[in-house]
A and B are shown apart, each in its own frame.
Chain A
């Protein structure tokens, strides 16, 4: 069973999706689409058990636009039984387009591979796990990377082959991007995450309280929807059903009440600490350690104690 895995430009995410792919078969090729992709291709080639890396290079692929990406994947589809990608914003954007063009139903966000055609995936904001079997002849799958450990990159140097991308269908064009350049570990791969909610009160408080603590623990910073909506933190820090799903070793929730939609993003954290003034807050019911009190007092104390 041959698998085509679409590389995420974050190699860590690709390595996690690869672990899910290896549970299906060992005939795995990785496809890297983009413009300046040599390093990504070389890193992908190092990942254990990759058969070969295909690279499709074009200026119109630089920003991972769905239409030319999907068309390029389509030129390869005949050679593969499974086409997979991480559930990153690119994977979620491109893969359903591929699926529909092949008249296949996608299996979104798998958290476990039970057999080559049977998978587990969360529904209802992670409150329910569904076991689903596909009857399609070919499978299109996106992988919830928080549920898989990364495949190590050692002892491999898969051949890198250049392929011709599909022409640009000109259905969309890139205008600009704004990335939040922060000198912090990446949320989806961080070992420790400190996350703030509405309880922080303002953007200034959010950064003044949480940043020193995050520095001490070499932690990534996250946020609840309430904190993002209030402008305390940027959009891409949002954790939950519609933001990022994370699975760190330690998750510290500060001033977050714990709506269903937020809990959906942290249920796989190994240890959850909740710091909140409200003992009855839902997050206190699922946390491993709870500390009731005023976060404005507790967080500086905690920083000093570390």
Chain B
């Protein structure tokens, strides 16, 4: 069995983002980039399934600039077998990404595709669901537990009031939530080994997929800052302040 894991290069989650002065976007020059945290969890899950003997191959796919090779190297150092980069300098929307991933799935014929539940830059939470739709496969989103058995995936999902467990025949698409696992750190020997693994490259143009943007970003801005607060000395002061505001 084969798993494809889709990974995205995003701004590191610890970075405080700044909007460009002309409000056309955020300033990403000289900012630390990393693998999207949810994608790391998806990669980890694929590798654990491989280590348990249920999967024979883990293929990483990323769609983005040449620099996304670093992101793929990270996943290879974690233990993925192969990597494919679809190069483009465009910033693609989730619908376009899902179409590109579908083309890769049609070619590679995996049994499952794992993605993160959302990317921490655009916060869309769409690509996995869209890919499942385009493939006509079942979807298990926001996964916190996975068991593969007898050609089926049993997945526990995090939902608004607790958890829900579903069973899906393979092939299927799963998106990883925070509590699915704790991704491993890459060791130096594995990082060195990953440098020798091949990253296949395809150009987006060669795939002949319509990736035209459907949404136009008119502007971006920083949210209104909150007024600076008041330090109270003790509980009595706090209670009287809140009473004055009529909120208790």
Contacts and interface: CB of A to CB of B under 8 A. Distances in A.
Co-complex (A, B):
yes
Interface of A: 10, 63, 65-67, 70, 88-90, 92-101, 103-109, 118, 122-136, 171-180, 188, 192, 217, 225, 228-229, 234-236, 241-242, 244, 249-250, 260-261, 267, 270-274, 284-292, 298, 301-302, 305-306
Contacts of A101: 133
B129 to A, nearest CB: 4
Nearest to A70: B133
A66 B235 CA distance: 48
Nearest to B131: A100
B16 A260 contact: yes
Contact of B231 (A65, A134, A290): A290
Interface of B: 11, 13-14, 16-17, 19, 26, 93-95, 98, 117-118, 120-134, 136-142, 144, 154, 157-169, 172, 177-179, 213-223, 226-232, 234-236, 238-239, 241-242, 245, 247-248
B215 A133 contact: yes
A225 B38 CA distance: 14
Contacts of B227: 288
Given A99-B130, A133-B215, A250-B248, A174 B164 contact: yes
B192 to A, nearest CB: 32
Contacts of B229: 272, 274, 284, 286-290
Contacts of B219: 130-131
Contact of B139 (A67, A89, A125): A67
B125 A100 contact: no
Contact of A133 (B93, B118, B129, B218): B218
B160 A242 contact: no
A97 B93 CA distance: 15
A228 B178 CA distance: 11
Given A66-B139, A122-B123, A171-B168, A242 B217 contact: no
Central interface residue in A70, A122, A175, A284, by most chain B CB within 10 Å: A175
A302 B235 contact: yes
A243 to B, nearest CB: 9
Contacts of B162: 177-180, 234-236
B94 A105 contact: yes
Contacts of B139: 66-67, 93, 97, 171-172
B91 to A, nearest CB: 12
A65 B98 CA distance: 20
B166 A174 contact: yes
Contacts of B177: 242
Contacts of B164: 63, 174, 176-178
B247 A250 contact: yes
A150 B168 CA distance: 36
- 8 closest A-B pairs by CB: A171-B138, A96-B129, A105-B214, A100-B130, A100-B133, A96-B126, A179-B162, A175-B165
Contacts of B93: 105
B39 to A, nearest CB: 13
Given A130-B217, A131-B217, A260-B14, 4 more contacts: A97-B133, A135-B215, A175-B154, A179-B161
